[in-house]
Amino acid sequence: MKATGDMPPTWRYHNGSVMNNLDAIEGSVKSILEKLHGVWIDSHLDDSEYIRNTRAVIEATDRYIQENREITNAPNILTQVLRQFAKSLWLNHKTTVEKTTAGDSDDNGDYSEYCFDYIYEHGVYPP
């Protein structure tokens, strides 16, 4: 951007259509969450570390959108989308690893979902 007050260039999708600010933020944060997920897997970090870090990214995004209301008038929707995205990444990996390490073990999907939600809300494993 030039000092003369010119507007920044318009962001566009690969097909040429205009990208709105909310789409740009959502895509950027999803990319960050995917990177955090990769670091969690590669470094063999604890589940609670990944989930707490995920929450920090999502909360920072929410705070930014709350402070810049011109981006969207429904910031909670983006927060829910990002949380579900992070949860899906974690659950997909968790179920894949459990199936390969324990064979066809019983389905722990409901408990895994509960675990993610509990850790996300409280920062620690469920009692």
Token pair for 116: 């993610």
Over residues 58-112, the pLDDT tens digits come to 999 999 999 988 888 888 999 999 999 999 999 999 988 877 776 555 556 789 9
Mean pLDDT of the chain: 86
pTM reported for the whole predicted model: 0.81
Q: What is the pLDDT of residue 19?
A: 65
Between 122 and 103, name the one with better pLDDT.
122
Token pair for 88: 């899906």
Bridge-partner residues for 12, per DSSP? Answer: 18
Contact 67, 25 (CB under 8 A): no
In the chain, domain spans: 21-122
Tracing tokens 């899906």 back to the chain, one arrives at 88
